[in-house]
Amino acid sequence: MEVAQTVATRATCPRASVGAVLVRQHRILTTGYNGAPRNVAHCSEIGCEIVGGHCLRATHAESNAIVQGALHGVQLEGATAYCTHQPCINCAKLLISAGIVAIVYRDSYSDPFAERLLNEAGVKFAKYETANP
């Protein structure tokens, strides 16, 4: 989770700094943060495009982590996603389709339909709980 938090510092959409790390067998496969697609100006450069309370310019961290796998030929099936925020419905669908088997998130983003799809697909998901000394 600490790696996801560090990756989130690279986010270029000022609305939220979100990071995602995809891991299999204790090895980092890919990382992603929320920011504009390749060759498109970032929100931090020209501002956000907000429609319906969401920024249209930024690609979500989970989606970017999946794209990194596709670009570099990294198979993601069987991986666990560590995310600073609970995935939205669109990212949940992509994670399911990519073969992610578990999702651990730090901050809640309640989306009952995303949770329903994750359950239906058999993807384990849980809120990250830090140990209190």
62 catalytic? Reply is yes
Residue 71 phi, psi (nearest 5): -65, -35
Of the residues 49, 62, 120, 129, only one is catalytic, namely 62
**Of 87, 77, 132, nearest to 111 (Cα)?**
87
CA angle centred on 21, ends 76 and 47, rounded to 5°: 115
112 three-class SS: helix
Beta strands in 9-132 (DSSP E): 19-24, 27-33, 50-51, 54-55, 80-85, 102-107, 124-127
Q: Find tokens 């419905």 and name the residue.
A: 89
Which residues form the catalytic set?
A: 62
